[in-house]
Structure 1
């Protein structure tokens, strides 16, 4: 540790208010070194990002009239953060279940939102019944096994299925070259001013949708990169825990906090998941052919997060012109 960089030694671990540990997992952060009321203080407090982003997302859904499934998803996202906060504070097995199973349930909500769109009520009902049954099975089997690898594999599988399905739907439903071949043929058969007007409108919509797709892929790349980066740090934290603990004690506090890999996992996966839900909201509006009613608000600079906002109405009662906005 450089002599010019002030630090204080790590306090020793101790028994805490919630002792003994009953969870099947105990992460690399040392237990109860900072306070007797929180087993893993950094892993606990980093979950406040989930709470903040969940409140931000819920408020955005209510303010802008996004589909109700995304409001419920943000509530599930909030439960993930609260559950993880309680789990890392206590390291109790019931709180571990709240943390990990809420991740499964929230992903099932996004699964429903992705696969039920445009389907019949009967299809949506049976899909919902299947997902409820799947969630119940995962809950019961995980409680029986008490093997975190099972939970991690199920979460990864569900997330991958939903992600790739949403990418497919985005491309075939929005990309002009894949979407409106029939419309193009019909316009070609139209004569005079009506045909010219339709061609102009189609060109405008094509440019709009190409711009939307470009920004959607940027969102996907950012969210996925942040999420996978968090997973990489989480893996390193698990594999090299003894070394990291030694380094943290050598450099002292507060700098040792920067080597708390599971805390970075919370910050990065929370951010990546927020990107994903926001992308899902925008995709749903595009599938509903409401691109001209909503804007992406995202300056695309470090530290900013995207939001989907309803376009303002001018004094004449018309929607303001424009497509994708990048603003503060």
Structure 2
């Protein structure tokens, strides 16, 4: 990009940093205090603003649209992750590192509870909650003892993978018409035997449409999430080369080579997609498919949200839940 107008990269100034010295157990490929003495890693800091904006949007939607309270707490945890990461990358201080990384563990454990506790007895929910609380405390104490980021990353990956695969299973066996009659894990809340044949067919058409849309959403969100992991991995492995490239292309183009910043953006979006999917799945498990729909106007230029059908009618026309927004579902 040498032919493009650019500015030379200022030198890193860690000794002049406002928050100096660095006390975190991990540092990143972005050079410290090159842009301002008030933020150790300016790109890694500012990319968390998207994380925080999506967290605020999620909290607002949970309050506005009466989603289950567990998802309100999950979005508060999600917002804490973004805020903690903002503070961590601004200061590179160990306490802020703990806020950033441990809030990821706590939010993942909360989503694990939401996934495994639904429709279970009070005793089972209590035991599950106690077990996950114990797990979170163990990870906190052991991580503080080890101070090894690899342990944190592996713990977060295992919990997240467990939750995602369990959610996929619950989605398939409780919504897909060909599976739920035999394998469903959630007892039906309505008496399907009193429905007419045309009503049952209409429900099956609706549920097949929901499954298709859910898989599109899962594939899209998971691809973005894993893509963020991949870019961050390249950023760690080839850090010295990438730093040289940044200086070669200069500012502002070198910002595009900040791999950890892309990790924030992509995993933030991917995690938001997962929580919204979990909200939608919970409404479907509660047999409220005709009350709530997924509002996702553009695959690439918007983020999804679960809204009541009455609110969705104000948006552009799009087929969701097996029928058009604002249109009554008809028997077939």
Distance 1:322 1:149, change over 3 A: closer
**Aligned equivalent of 1:10:** 9
How much does 1:313 deviate?
A: 8.3
**Aligned equivalent of 1:186:** none
TM superposition score normalised by structure 1: 0.91
Distance 1:323 1:86, change over 3 A: same
Q: How does 1:80-159 map to 2 (within 5 A)?
A: 80-159=81-160
- 1:85-116, Cα deviation, whole Å (9 max, x unpaired): 00000000110000000000000010000000
**Aligned equivalent of 1:241:** 239
Separation in structure 2 between the aligned mates of residue 23 and residue 229 of structure 1, nearest angstrom: 26
Give the match's secondary structure for 1:296: strand
Q: State yes or no: 1:222 paired with 2:223.
A: no
Paired residues of 1:296 and 1:325 also in contact (CA < 8 A): no
Separation in structure 2 between the aligned mates of residue 218 and residue 322 of structure 1, nearest angstrom: 12
- 1:6-27, Cα deviation, whole Å (9 max, x unpaired): 1000111112000011101000
Runs of 4+ residues over 6 Å off in structure 1 = none
Give the match's secondary structure for 2:307: strand
**Aligned equivalent of 2:263:** 265
- 1:37-61, Cα deviation, whole Å (9 max, x unpaired): 1000000000001110011111111
Distance 1:181 1:150, change over 3 A: closer
- 1:200-240, Cα deviation, whole Å (9 max, x unpaired): 11000000000000000000000000001000000000000
User: How many residues align structurally?
Assistant: 309
- 1:168-215, Cα deviation, whole Å (9 max, x unpaired): 000000010112369xxxxxxxxxxxx996111100000000000000
Distance 1:230 1:325, change over 3 A: farther
Q: Where in structure 1 are there 5+ consecutive unaligned residues?
A: 183-194, 315-320
Q: How does 1:1-328 map to 2 (within 5 A)?
A: 1-3=1-3, 5-14=4-13, 15-180=16-181, 198-312=196-310, 323=321
How much does 1:311 deviate?
A: 1.6
How much does 1:323 deviate?
A: 2.9
Separation in structure 2 between the aligned mates of residue 244 and residue 81 of structure 1, nearest angstrom: 25
| RMSD across aligned positions (CA) | 2.0
Distance 1:30 1:198, change over 3 A: same
**Aligned equivalent of 2:315:** none
Distance 1:181 1:135, change over 3 A: closer
Separation in structure 2 between the aligned mates of residue 238 and residue 209 of structure 1, nearest angstrom: 43
Separation in structure 2 between the aligned mates of residue 294 and residue 59 of structure 1, nearest angstrom: 16
TM superposition score normalised by structure 2: 0.90
How much does 1:303 deviate?
A: 1.9
